[in-house]
Amino acid sequence: MEKPAPAATRKARHLRVPVLPAEEAQIKRLAAAAGLPVAAYLRKVGLGYRLPGILDHRRVEELARINGDLGRLGGLLKLWLTNDERTAAFGEATIRAVLAKIADTQDEMHAVMRAVVLPHGGAQFSC
């Protein structure tokens, strides 16, 4: 009688990949950023899988704060545009300052969004 072939497991084979200390540190950082152990990270990258992104919760909270700021600034602008009596004392300089603050806040939001979407400063993988 023939023996059945043993089931293949991940522990059946190991690949040894020599790396420089700086490369090891970068691989470990990238694996941590992906929320994976180094072995799982290397296996997925080596097999061509797309790694799921992990949002930085601190940055998501920052985006929520910035969004709230934009909402409040927009509310002030809306009051002025509807000629609400509470804004009768607002001059053109105040309105321009609000508009400038809205533009600055939008720039801040875009910077945070780029940091979330392009982790590691937008660095690309290279060999």
Going from N- to C-terminal start, the domains of the chain cover 18-52, 57-120
pLDDT at 37: 92
Mean per-residue pLDDT of the chain: 80
Average pLDDT on 82-103 reads 84
Q: What is the mean pLDDT of residues 38-49?
A: 91
- Which range among 71-80, 83-92, 117-126 has the greatest average pLDDT? 71-80
Q: Does residue 46 carry a pLDDT above 70?
A: yes
pLDDT bucket at 5, cuts 50 / 70 / 90:
low
Burial 63-76 (b: 16+ CB within 10 A, else e): beebeebbeebeeb
Listed in sequence order, the residues at least 6 apart from 55 whose beta carbon sits closer than 8 Å to its beta carbon are: 116
Q: 94-124: per-residue pLDDT in tens?
A: 888 888 988 898 888 888 887 776 554 444 4
Can you give the pLDDT at residue 19? Answer: 94
Report residue 21's pLDDT band, with 50, 70 and 90 as the boundaries.
very high
